[in-house]
Amino acid sequence: MDEPRDKGLTLNPKYDRDGLITAVVTDAATGEVLMLAHMNDQALALTIETGLAHFWSRSRQSLWKKGETSGNMLEVRDLRIDCDQDAVWMKAVPAGPTCHTGARSCFFRRVGAEGLSAVDTVE
């Protein structure tokens, strides 16, 4: 009998209709949220195999290794999957800025009643 997806210890990702799961990346040292992306089965397999973050680009419809062009790779220290196996949490060591804008984190703006404001440091 198969283990239930939500309680068992068998990796059995529940991909959405596009074949993707959500991936949240945090800094292994600080816990700061660095980015959110998506992974298909190949990206997840490569991340597990190499220890470097791989994702699926929905806009380009292609696999990408984070930092392949910029050098700002993400070395995975811990990879976890949630209870229903439709999202992963990656604790990683960034080799540089994580955001394509050059910001340390993709979450560098705060939303408030007055609109957006910049966030400079880990809070």
Residues flagged as binding site: 82-84, 86, 99, 106
For 118, the 3-state DSSP assignment is strand
Write phi, then psi, for 44 (nearest 5 degrees).
-65, -45
Q: Which residues are annotated as a binding site for Zn(2+)?
A: 83, 99, 106
Alpha-helical runs (H) found in 5-120: 41-50
CA distance 9 to 53: 22
If you ran DSSP here, which 8-state letter would residue 113 be given?
Answer: T
Q: Confirm if 119 and 107 have CB atoms less than 8 A apart.
A: yes
For 114, the 3-state DSSP assignment is coil
Q: Which residues are annotated as a binding site for Mg(2+)?
A: 82, 84, 86
Residue where the block lists tokens 């040292």:
29
